[in-house]
Amino acid sequence: MQRILFLIILAALFLPITTTATSVTEETEKPDEKVSIIIEVEGDPTKHKEYLEAYYPYVDVVATYDKLFNGIALQGDPGDLARMDSLDFIKAIHPITKYEAIYQTPDATETTNSVIPASINNTKYRGEGVKVGIIDTGVDYNHPDLATNYVDGYDLVDLDDDPMETTRSQGMPTLHGTHVAGIIAADGKIKGVAPDADIYAYRALGPGGMGTSVQVIAALEQAVEDDMDVINLSLGNSVNGPDYPTSIAVNRAVELGVAVVIANGNSGPNNWTVGSPATAKGALSVGASTMPQKIPYLYDQLEDVAIGLTTMLGSPAWNLEKDYPIVVGTDRLDDARGKIVLVQRGKIPFYEKAKKAEDAGAVAVLIYNNKDGYFQGSVENGQGPLTIPVAAIPKEAGEWIIEQSKEEKLYLETIFKKTTEGIAGFSSRGPVTVNWDIKPDVIAPGANILSTVPGGYKELQGTSMAAPHVTGAIALLKEAHPDWSVEKIIGALKTAAQPIEKEQGNYYEPIVQGMGQIQPKQAVNTDTIIYEPLLSFGKIDDYKETNKIALTIENTTNHEQSYSFEIPKKEKGLSWNLPQTFTLEKNEKKTIPVELSVVTQQIKKGIHEGWLTLKQDKEVFHLPYLFVSKQADNPKAMGFQFSLKPFSKDTYLYQLYLTEKVKRVEVNLYNPDTLLYERKFLEIEDPKVGMNEGNMKKKDIGKPGNYKALITLELENGTYESYESEIHIE
């Protein structure tokens, strides 16, 4: 495998994540330590490589890149590398931005059952022969549920062939990549969505989930080089723009024929929270849904008390069909037969407590906490699985049972409460600024997902858990239809997705769920494929404007099929021009015009979204649409970064992303404690839409310290908007 070390424009995050405070400091290297950089170059990187090897022999050329951008990876002493900044073919030496990986553990007060990834695979396929690249914190390839499917990988943190998760001896240990890998392709006690898929691991984030854009984009390039069929990136940042460099890199990978699945972000429930690279037009961006749950409770009819049960990992499902007496556990458990045994959490392992009760003839075991609140536990054990259910309950519930049992024998029945399918509150929402695309594209289960972690199993949640469900589904489609293009596979998955309702007859908004919940079996067997079915008509500023989208539809059957649009209800200011009926011959692909006319004076400013309905016989397809009238409440500025230029002692670099044209940008610094004004820090005249970058000299940045940065924009209409950030100057 080609060795890669890679420094590039991108500021990529691991989802779910938050950025650290921006700093002008840079880690200094020891004089005798080699460091690595990427120089972005003009022209042919191979020719420049030859030049460097001839005239700079003290610098090692590690690799050249020409797939996602033109660049050369170098290793050498900091002083030697710094001299290369003057070469005229060097376009840029990009700074490194650091991020921290943060994932969520489900709230133990929510007594939901675990979601097993394999539950969404209702097909006969298992992803056999499909190559899946997982760019993450590494993978515990020794885990018994993953070892069979793990094929290869690369560590872009330590630059070796061992993409193992960070262990405790190396720093703060990680587990996220192993969890993602299990969702996709675990094949053991836990089954992934595609348990026969081939796992390739690319460790891009190191101890504590910390990493840089260097490793993330290096991993993406390496995965493309290794001919992955699909790449899973639980990556993103706070910049909601389609042309941020991360998004551009993803689009290039997709153009090269690789499906790229990206978590939408964990910054919901507000709009405009999807971040790059999930904003990439070519990415299959994924939001998180909550699955319907059948949650067991123990119920006392006389007292009208219901106790929620958290079934332990490794336990059979709690499916008791009648009421049973409760017995408080003792050392001997002479009276346990045919009863539910209650024991307290303590030093003895849960398995041993439950096994003792099982041997005594108990029908189930309750373990109540020894401190306030709910808890999660496991009865996994190599000695053999239990045959009776084991559940955790709060301390107060256990004490209530004990108190009731003192008066008379207590009988409790099992009841079940059903939850409905929904959207996870943390799931980031669209749309994307600048081009106003609808994101996410689809949703998948992302809450309470049980999967592999180093040394065992764990529930995690986030759009990082939703994305690998979709990656696994793509593996199923790839096995079922090996001759289909990536475009066709993605089209089928989107077409078959089903939007979910927040109430009867009322769907969640398109910017919340895209096409809706993925349905792998329907996608595999679909008779129709709608390419790019999420319809964005853009921003409409004129008094009256008509926008047209060319919608491509394919009939995948060997017989003629007829289609018809439902004409939307009339709304003031909106007029649709749709082909009410049309026919596709067998295996025919046809482009259909979808036209929307808007009179802006007759509608409200802001986001307008909804659904168009296309019918084919008994099949109904719901196509989300969106347009923005005049202006929206989107953030105008984001992604403010400030750092020392690589290998420089007195020059600093700033970055600020703008989502629309503004007259002027001014950054002022305030005392973070007193909020008193300190000084003007930066002014950008005539800034551009997209990334604004520049240099600042050390003498111009002022005294060191922690500051609140107030970023003020003068908009084109003469009004002002402000945003806060933080910087630390050392």
Q: Which of 36, 114, 136, 300 is catalytic?
A: 136
Q: Which two tokens stand for residue 112?
A: 């939901």
722 catalytic? Reply is no
285 catalytic? Reply is no
Q: Which two tokens stand for residue 243?
A: 């042309």
Q: Which two tokens stand for residue 669?
A: 């610094």
Cα-based distances in Å from 280 to 180, 267, 429: 21, 17, 14
The DSSP secondary-structure symbol of 142 reads T
- The three-state secondary structure class of 436 is coil
The H or E element containing residue 51 is: helix 45-55
Amino acid at 515: M
- Report whether 390 contacts 265 (CB < 8 A): no
Helix/strand/coil percent split, the chain, to 5: 20, 40, 45
Strand order in the sheet with 535-540: 535-540, 619-629, 606-616, 561-565, 581-584
Q: Which of 427, 464, 629, 643 is catalytic?
A: 464
- Report whether 134 contacts 197 (CB < 8 A): no
- Report whether 492 contacts 523 (CB < 8 A): yes
N-term to C-term CA, the chain:
40
Integer Cα distance of 136 and 155 in angstroms: 10
Amino acid at 730: E
The dihedral built from the CA positions of residue 78, 82, 83 and 87, taken in this order, carries a sign that is positive
- The three-state secondary structure class of 459 is strand
At residue 135, φ and ψ (nearest 5 deg) are: -95, 110
Residue 655's contacts (CB-CB under 8 Å, 6 or more residues apart) are 11, 639, 640, 641, 642, 691, 692, 693
378 catalytic? Reply is no
Integer Cα distance of 593 and 561 in angstroms: 18
Positions marked catalytic: 136, 176, 464
